[in-house]
Amino acid sequence: MSRPTTLHRTPHRPHAWLAWLAASQLAVAGLWWVAGWRWGLPALLLSHAAFIVPVFLPRATLYAPALSRLPGDERQVWLTIDDGPSDDTPAILDALDRHGMQATFFLVGQRAQARPELVREILRRGHGVANHTWSHPQAWFWALGPRAMAAQVERAQAVLGELAGQPPRWFRAVAGHTNPFLAAPLRRLGLARAAWSVRGYDAVDGDVVRVLQRLQRGLGPGAIVLLHEGAPHGRSVEIVEAALCLLREQGYASVIPE
């Protein structure tokens, strides 16, 4: 079942944060002038934190709008799988077929270019393909400047668009991080940012029981479920299979909002 296109929100004012920054610093300067450094310095630090902390919060929308949950009270979830394509992709596709579930694969452009047959197989089986940057720079994505950020988004979009026959409509940031330079390329390419509401930390934790416990705690109608493939612990296929079993046991269907 498709969702309304209003869920797909591209950034309309990529530089709106600048107005908030200027207003906050003027307010701090005024407070410092009137009340001195004892009040001005804490206000300065807090004002800077208000612009730094959202960089690391996956559902924060200061720098770009993000979809973190689907509307409605039906027992439906958006199942998303990050970091492919990988050696795990064929087995995950088989698991999705067995359980009658659809998913969106947030693919790394560099990996997709190296394994185009897996991208085509994902699409052939009725799943979605979305943009998860060109090279997945996990340690420093949050700190990219405007040119490097644009390259990460645009190169992946070009490769995935060529392989899929049409450009992706959704983007997921590495680790969910953003910064002031992400919104501009998203707007140029017509991309909407997807966050999540449920995660099991399966990219770093290979314990299936712990991952499922975390997933179960966050499940609810409209949840966006974050899973991964190709994790270093080597148990991604097992975890996805277990997550699909959990969803079926809980009576959830999957939906792709496109």
- Are the C-beta atoms of 258 and 128 separated by less than 8 Å? yes
Residue 40 has what pLDDT? Answer: 86
**pTM for this prediction:** 0.93
- Are the C-beta atoms of 20 and 13 separated by less than 8 Å? no
Residue type, 89: T
Q: How far apart are CA 33 and CA 105, in angstroms?
A: 53
CA dihedral 33, 34, 36, 37 (to 10 degrees): -60
- Are the C-beta atoms of 137 and 174 separated by less than 8 Å? yes
What angle do the packed helices 37-52 and 16-35 form, to 10 degrees? Answer: 170
Residue 225 has what pLDDT? Answer: 98
3-state SS of 135-158? CCCCCCHHHCCHHHHHHHHHHHHH
Residue 16 has what pLDDT? Answer: 86
What lies within 8 Å, CB to CB, of 244 at 6+ separation is 95, 96, 98, 99, 101
Residue 4 has what pLDDT? Answer: 44
Alpha-helical regions (H) of the chain: 16-35, 37-52, 89-99, 109-114, 116-124, 146-164, 183-189, 208-218, 236-249
Q: How far apart are CA 200 and CA 220, in angstroms?
A: 14
Query: Residue 176 has what DSSP assignment?
Result: G
Is the four-CA dihedral 138, 144, 148, 153 of positive or negative sign?
positive
Residue 2 has what pLDDT? Answer: 43
Residue type, 239: I
State the distance between the two ends of the chain, measured CA to CA, in whole angstroms.
9
Residue 92 has what pLDDT? Answer: 98
Q: How far apart are CA 205 and CA 222, in angstroms?
A: 25
Residue 18 has what pLDDT? Answer: 84
Q: Could you give the residue numbers annotated as active site? A: 82, 228
Tens of pLDDT, residue by residue, the chain (258 residues): 444 458 999 998 888 888 888 888 899 899 889 999 899 898 889 988 988 999 999 999 999 999 999 999 999 999 999 999 999 999 999 999 999 999 999 999 999 999 999 999 999 999 999 999 999 999 999 999 999 999 999 999 999 999 999 999 999 999 999 999 999 999 999 999 999 999 999 999 999 999 999 999 999 999 999 999 999 999 999 999 999 999 999 999 999 996
Q: How far apart are CA 146 and CA 180, in angstroms?
A: 8
